[in-house]
């Protein structure tokens, strides 16, 4: 690996910036995502920062069963993110539709719309699970570039 | 399976939820605004018709992750009325306890968001750290941090032990101390006052006209609180004050919420001391009705309203949910009109609704004749910078 | 006096004003009154209840599908009790008058009736649809009892069948 690539990989691993997207979730997962950033869990110690523009983000943290109204919006947001990009499906709804599977206004799962890198189950997910998912994602990124 | 409709983004709004606002500007001043809802519509009401009454509890709980207990209690009250079930007193007391713990968690959450929107991130971190204490209590009582699942038709699913009671009381004492600090901060800190006073005005008669509910209405001196007006659970046995404020602005909404925290601590203590002995649930037949019932519940954000129609089978014929933020949206347009662009995040956050980073506010500048699209974060930064230039700066604290 | 003194008073007041138009009035329990009124009298009734009887808050409007008739329940409160007013409209040509003249906050509730039940609201100001997605077929109304998800999304329904 060239020194340039090493630096890029190092900075990628040390500053995974997050973009949070609510695809029609009940807010349970969303407050737990924010909770993971606050002092008790402190996801920020891994260099993660919650950003609000897709152009700055590395990881799309998406929750909710994806309402049909939002399908076009999440596609556009995904396209706006710079490469390499990752998608974290947070919660049972984002993974498979959860309790809302079969409702007429949802497509049941974010992977029906955009590719997902890591699934975090739970209804709602616990902040510990989000931490675990983030660390596993970074670990996989490091392993794949060796 | 497959059917239900519960307008969510619209109906049950909270933090980071998708909603779209269109603002019309003249210079920095807002001359018109519309709220576009529907991004979070999942169809819960249709789905509720294809599930049994018991299964619906878990569905209705997921209408909202912040006031999940409010929705299930409101729904269950309707169902129990139709089934003519006599719920044991101890179960009602436990429901009341969880309800008030939920109010504490929701108001602390709001306080943090309000701090974040005004650029006071220390307050955000403080109040969310303290909020963990309540979440610990809820987890201990119910087994989960967010969706408690403590309600069941005819009672509750878990009892409270003497040991749990002691732990809750000690955590409440800690929070009471912390809340004194928030009260001081909210009412005396000049930077907070400068960002909240005379912002997002909602006069008393407009609040009534537009049907505002909860702390939004109470900050405009509307004496409306279902816990007092039509006591449910065991609220008629408890001693607490109805908090109102007459400044009609964001400051009033902040004060009302912080003082309601103090009342909630009082209620939690009373409930724990009252807790009568006895069973925690009664058996209720699966087939219910026929009949119709409506019920109301004072959720942290205001009046929650449920309608249930049963037709004698084990599934409801119709379920209708009207969450408090839905009732507050008509007031938002009024609060925004005539205000400044820099105040938009504070005003919208003050009704405790949804805000989404991914949702955009479209800004039309009539003079320049161009359309500029702001993200929520850009707008928040714009607001913070706007006030910094005028000497209101949280970074110097 | 009976135990429902307040409710009886409301009943008498309503019947004095609207007479035979009010049908099926029941006092379910304390603070709960239900009755039915012809759809065209709804705005007049709302105005009367708001100005003369102090029921200043329209909690929400619940649409329903009762087979031959569609209709709506208007839930009014005076902060202490809930009065539910039922109005029916034929399924073949469903329409109800708007109450936004009396309760400006009712706009989203009425849009819901239009979208989810296909009840045309006479006099409702035009605006963006709510709450269904923008691309949802305009002639389908999911909360009607005979509606199936396959009506709007036939491809998905067949895909699910094949998977099963």
H or E stretch covering B128: helix B121-142
Mean pLDDT, consecutive 10-residue stretches, chain B (397 aa), reads 29 46 72 70 82 89 85 91 91 93 91 85 90 92 89 91 92 92 87 86 87 88 88 90 89 91 92 91 87 90 89 89 82 81 76 45 40 58 74 66
- Looking at the complex, report in whole angstroms how far the Cα of residue C111 sits from the nearest Cα belonging to chain A: 17
The per-type count for chain C, helices as H runs and strands as E runs, is 5, 7
Query: Distance between CA C79 and CA B219 in Å, rounded?
Result: 17
Radius of gyration of chain A (CA): 15
- Per-residue model confidence as pLDDT tens digits over C37-67: 999 889 999 898 888 888 888 888 999 888 8
Q: Please tell me whether residue A18 adopts helix, strand or coil conformation.
A: strand
Q: Is C80 an interface residue toward B (CB < 8 Å)?
A: yes
Residue C14 has pLDDT above 80, yes or no: yes
Residue range C141-150: mean pLDDT, rounded: 83
In sequence order, the β-bridge partners of residue A62 are A21, A89
Confidence of residue C116 (pLDDT cuts 50, 70, 90): confident
Write out chain A residues lying below 8 Å of C132, CB-based.
105
Domains of chain B with bracketed CATH: 20-28+34-327 (1.10.645.10)
* Structure tokens, C138: 């305009």
- Nearest by CB to residue B10, choosing from C103, C131, C142, is C131
Vertex B55 angle, CA B49 and B61, to 5° = 95
Query: What residues in chain A have per-residue pLDDT under 50?
Result: none
B-interface mutation test, from A23, A73, A103, most B Cβ less than 10 A away: A103
- Looking at the complex, report in whole angstroms how far the Cα of residue B204 sits from the nearest Cα belonging to chain A: 31
Give the number of other Cβ atoms within 10 Å of residue B58's Cβ: 16
Question: Long-range contact list for C115-118, CB < 8 A, 24+ apart?
Answer: C115/C141, C116/B5, C116/B45, C116/C63, C116/C141, C116/C142, C116/C143, C117/C63, C117/C64, C117/C65, C117/C70, C117/C141, C117/C143, C117/C144, C118/C70, C118/C94, C118/C144
pLDDT at B14: 33
pLDDT at B178: 92
In this complex, the chains that touch B, judged by 3 or more CB pairs closer than 8 A, are A, C
A-interface mutation test, from B54, B146, B380, most A Cβ less than 10 A away: B146
In sequence order, the β-bridge partners of residue B370 are B365
Measure Cα distances from B47 to B273, B379, C135 in Å: 40, 37, 21
Give the number of other Cβ atoms within 10 Å of residue B157's Cβ: 15
Write out chain B residues lying below 8 Å of C6, CB-based.
none
pLDDT at C140: 85
Q: Are B329 and B40 in contact (CB under 8 A)?
A: no
pLDDT at B378: 65
CB proximity list for B116: less than 8 A, separation 6 or greater: B123, B124, B380
Query: Distance between CA B117 and CA B344 in Å, rounded?
Result: 10
Instruction: Name the average pLDDT for chain C.
Output: 84
8-state DSSP, B357: S
* Structure tokens, C54: 């102090």
Contact between chains at B305 and C32 (C-beta distance less than 8 A):
no
pLDDT at B5: 28
Query: Distance between CA A99 and CA A109 in Å, rounded?
Result: 11
How far is C-alpha B229 from the geometric centre of its chain's CA atoms? 18
pTM here is 0.88
Q: Are A53 and A93 in contact (CB under 8 A)?
A: no
8-state DSSP, B374: E
CATH number assigned to the domain covering C5-139: 3.30.460.80
pLDDT at B99: 93
Query: Distance between CA C1 and CA B322 in Å, rounded?
Result: 35
Domain extents in chain C:
5-139
Dihedral pair phi/psi, residue C86, rounded to 5°: -100, 140
Q: Are B221 and B244 in contact (CB under 8 A)?
A: yes
ipTM of the prediction: 0.89
Longest dimension (CA), chain A: 52
* Structure tokens, A59: 């990881």
Domains of chain A with bracketed CATH: 3-144 (3.40.50.12280)
Burial label for B369, CB within 10 Å (0-12, 13-18, 19+), is: exposed
User: Do the strands B360-365 and B316-322 form a parallel or antiparallel pair, or are they unpaired?
Assistant: unpaired
Query: Distance between CA B11 and CA B70 in Å, rounded?
Result: 14
Q: Please tell me whether residue B10 adopts helix, strand or coil conformation.
A: coil
- Looking at the complex, report in whole angstroms how far the Cα of residue B224 sits from the nearest Cα belonging to chain C: 7
Lowest mean pLDDT among B150-159, B359-368, C5-14, C143-152: B359-368
């Amino acid at each position: 690996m060239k020194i340039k690539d090493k630096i890029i990989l190092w900075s990628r691993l040390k500053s995974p910036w997050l973009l949070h997207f609510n695809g029609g979730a009940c807010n349970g997962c969303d407050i737990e995502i924010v909770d993971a950033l606050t002092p008790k869990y402190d996801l920020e110690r891994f260099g993660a920062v919650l950003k609000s523009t897709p152009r700055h983000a590395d990881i799309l943290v998406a929750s909710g069963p994806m309402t049909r109204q939002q399908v076009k919006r999440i596609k556009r947001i995904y396209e706006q993110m710079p490469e390499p990009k990752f998608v974290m499906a947070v919660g049972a709804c984002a993974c498979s539709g959860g309790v809302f599977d079969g409702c007429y206004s949802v497509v049941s799962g974010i992977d029906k719309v955009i590719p997902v890198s890591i699934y975090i189950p739970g209804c709602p997910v616990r902040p510990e699970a989000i931490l675990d998912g983030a660390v596993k994602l970074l670990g996989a990124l490091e392993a794949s570039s060796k | 399976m497959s059917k239900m409709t519960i307008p969510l983004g619209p109906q049950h709004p909270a933090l980071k939820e998708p909603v779209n606002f269109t603002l019309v500007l003249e210079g920095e001043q807002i001359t018109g605004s519309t709220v576009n809802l529907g991004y979070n519509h999942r169809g819960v009401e249709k789905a509720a018709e294809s599930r049994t009454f018991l299964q619906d509890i878990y569905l209705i709980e997921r209408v909202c992750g912040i006031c999940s207990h409010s929705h299930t209690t409101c729904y269950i009250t309707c169902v129990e009325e139709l089934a003519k079930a006599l719920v044991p007193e101890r179960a009602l007391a436990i429901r009341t306890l969880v309800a008030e713990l939920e109010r504490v968690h929701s108001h602390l959450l709001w306080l943090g968001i309000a701090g974040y929107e005004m650029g006071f991130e220390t307050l955000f971190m403080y109040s969310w750290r303290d909020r963990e204490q309540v979440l610990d209590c809820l987890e201990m009582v119910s087994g989960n941090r967010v969706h408690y699942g403590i309600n069941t038709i005819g009672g509750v699913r878990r009892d409270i032990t003497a040991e749990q009671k002691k732990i809750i009381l000690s955590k409440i004492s800690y929070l009471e101390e912390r809340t004194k600090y928030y009260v001081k901060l909210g009412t005396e800190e000049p930077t907070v006052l400068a960002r909240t006073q005379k912002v997002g005005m909602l006069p008393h008669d407009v609040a009534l006209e537009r049907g505002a509910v909860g702390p939004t209405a109470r900050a405009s001196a509307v004496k409306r609180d279902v816990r007092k007006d039509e006591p449910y659970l065991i609220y008629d046995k408890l001693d607490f004050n109805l908090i109102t404020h007459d400044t009609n602005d964001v400051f009033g909404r902040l004060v009302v919420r912080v003082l309601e925290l103090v009342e909630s601590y009082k209620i939690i203590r009373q409930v724990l001391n009252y807790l009568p002995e006895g069973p925690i649930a009664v058996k209720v037949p699966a087939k219910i009705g026929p009949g119709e019932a409506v019920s109301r519940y004072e959720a942290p954000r205001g009046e929650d309203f449920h309608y249930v129609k049963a037709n004698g089978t084990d599934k409801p014929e119709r379920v209708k949910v009207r969450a408090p933020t839905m009732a507050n949206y008509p007031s938002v347009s009024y609060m925004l009109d005539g205000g400044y662009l820099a105040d938009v995040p504070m005003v919208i956050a003050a009704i405790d609704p949804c805000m989404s980073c991914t949702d955009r506010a479209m800004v039309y500048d009539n003079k320049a004749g161009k359309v500029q699209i702001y993200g929520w974060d850009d707008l928040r930064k714009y607001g913070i910078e706007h006030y910094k230039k005028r000497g209101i700066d949280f970074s110097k604290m | 006096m009976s135990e429902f003194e307040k409710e009886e008073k409301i009943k008498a007041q309503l019947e004095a004003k609207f007479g035979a138009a009010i049908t099926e009035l029941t006092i379910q329990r304390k603070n709960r009154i239900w009755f039915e009124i012809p759809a065209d009298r709804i705005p007049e009734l709302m105005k009367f209840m708001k100005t003369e009887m102090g029921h200043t808050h329209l909690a929400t409007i619940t649409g329903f599908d009762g087979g031959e008739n569609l209709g709506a329940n208007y839930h009014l409160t005076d902060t202490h009790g809930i009065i539910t007013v039922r109005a029916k409209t034929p399924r073949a040509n469903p329409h109800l008058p708007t109450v936004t003249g009396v309760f400006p906050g009712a706009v989203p509730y009425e849009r819901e009736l239009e979208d989810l039940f296909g009840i045309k609201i006479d006099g409702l100001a035009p605006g963006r649809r709510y709450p269904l997605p923008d691309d949802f077929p305009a002639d389908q109304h999911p909360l009607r009892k005979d509606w199936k998800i396959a009506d709007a999304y036939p491809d998905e329904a067949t895909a699910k069948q094949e998977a099963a």
